[in-house]
Structure 1
Amino acid sequence: MDRNLLTIGCALCFTTCGLASAAHAAEQPSAAFEDVSALKLQPVDDAVLANQTGKGIVGDIISGVVVTLLSQWQLPNGATAAASGSLAIGMNTPNQPSVQFNSSASVTGPNGTSGSGSNRNASASGGQNVSVNGVSQIAQIAGNGNLGTNQALIDFDASPGSMTQGSYNNATLAAASNANGSVTASVNLANGGISIALRTPAGMATQTIAPSSAQQAGAIAQLLQIAGNNQQVANQLQLHLQTQQMSASMLRQIGVLQALQNSVRR
């Protein structure tokens, strides 16, 4: 397996865990914490609690992730652009993740004479500079008769079958364009993340998953910028998570690690 792909896969998996951290906050504590007779409890203020990590771990750990990105653009003259990327990450053993990646990109020529629909008097910009932690969806549309959608589905109850479906070509990146380069579709793996982009004379559509870093938390971003007429554009993202029960020993190890981290911060 390509080492860069493995690094990206692990980073995306940890980003996913961070984005999903609040999902199980209301569940009951694990049985590993039922016997507290030997523990001495000490009140902790909000400043210390704010630095806690792993808030979403309550007896479960994410053991598999499948993320699929798909962007499509149809111009009024019939020209189309499409790009997709699918990443499957298996965490069946603690230090042996399995990562597979598949991508595709296509651009088809016009089948009519109605033009690209671009409007030189319209502009849509600025959304690409927005920085958001978590999930963001931005649509900037200038023109008439346009249809643009950003859709994101996050499934926390993925079945084992959904984690293995599909074919993967292990990090073959995809790119396509028309003859003059005015319409392009691309899929990229960079900086520990994945992104897909469509660019046409009437604007662009992008989707990006960026892992967390020292500067910011992880992010999933969908962006549409349409400056034209009669455009049909769609961004779709599907994120499937599979969880498995954590052992009591692993829960204790995490608790000890967090206690040591908080001691260092003080």
Structure 2
Amino acid sequence: MDRNFITIGCALCFTTCGLASVAHAAESASTVFEDVAAIKLQPVDDTVLANQTGKGLAGDIISGVVVNLLSQWQLPNGATAVASGALAIVTNTLNQASAQFNSSASVTGPTGPSGNGANRNASASGGQNVNVNGVSQITQVAGNGNLGTNQALIDFNASPGSLTDGSYNNATSAAASNANGSVKASVSLANGGISIALQTPGGSATQTIAPASAQQAGMIAQLLQIAGNNQQVANQLQLHLQTQPMSASMLRQMGVLQALQNSVRR
């Protein structure tokens, strides 16, 4: 089993527990990505998050991690670019971790003559040079009638089924493009990280997950750069975390520890 998968899982746990945020930029309503707007947030209490500090996969708390990445771009002529990646890491009863990965990319269309909406006089740049520890969501739009959505959803205490359902092709990369190479979609797992990229005449969309290193903490970055008109774009990240059930004896031990800590503070 590739240790890179475990590294990613731990980096996700340390970096993103309890965070769910959305950056939305639009100049007109959309009917294409209606599922993106149906955002569900699960609040996580501070006392729960406090117990997760320093706990990673195969540790005391987290027993399973599933991350799903999806980027979609639809041009006004109906051409679409889609790239997705899924990573599942679960532990068995012996606390041994196993990992599966799935990747896919596709480019279709166009389906009509309305043009790709590219605007040669518009530009959106600079966001790709931003380096933020933790989670960053950047949306840059230059044009009219565009919809761009960055979504990060964290599901804490996911059910066991959500950690094992789905098919995995264990392909660490996938890529697709149209005939002239003007629309591209790609996803890859390399160097302990995951990256998704869409390139179109109307701009680009990327998602990046990089594990912690000696130089920086772990990073999750969602970036949309739209330089055109009537583009509809979405970055979606879903993180499912499953915790190990605590026995009665473990709860008693934690209660005693908290009592001792409170006594020392007083």
The two structures have a TM-score, normalised by structure 2, of 0.77
Q: How does 1:1-266 map to 2 (within 5 A)?
A: 1=1, 6-20=2-16, 25-27=46-48, 55=53, 57=55, 60-92=60-92, 96-245=96-245
Cα distance in structure 2, aligned partners of 1:172 and 1:192:
11
- For structure 2, the 5+ residue unaligned runs are 19-43, 254-266
**1:80–1:109 contact (8 Å) kept in structure 2:** yes
**1:83–1:105 contact (8 Å) kept in structure 2:** yes
Identity score, percent = 75
Cα distance in structure 2, aligned partners of 1:172 and 1:133:
25
Aligned residue pairs total 223
User: Structure 2 vs 1, CA of residues 61 and 206 (structure 1 numbering), >3 Å: closer, same or farther?
Assistant: same
Give per-residue Cα distances to partners, 1:125-164, cap 9 Å, x unaligned. 1111111111111000000000110111001120001101
Amino acid at match of 2:53: K
- Name which one, 1 or 2, has greater alpha-carbon Rg: 1
Task: Determine helix, strand or coil for the equivalent of 1:26.
Answer: helix
The two structures have a TM-score, normalised by structure 1, of 0.77
- For structure 1, the 5+ residue unaligned runs are 31-53, 252-266
**1:125–1:140 contact (8 Å) kept in structure 2:** yes
Across the aligned residues of Structure 1 and Structure 2, the Cα RMSD in angstroms comes to: 2.6
Deviation at 1:96, TM superposition (A): 3.0
Deviation at 1:91, TM superposition (A): 2.6
1:33 maps to which residue? none
Deviation at 1:231, TM superposition (A): 0.3
Deviation at 1:29, TM superposition (A): 9.3
Cα distance in structure 1, aligned partners of 2:96 and 2:175:
31
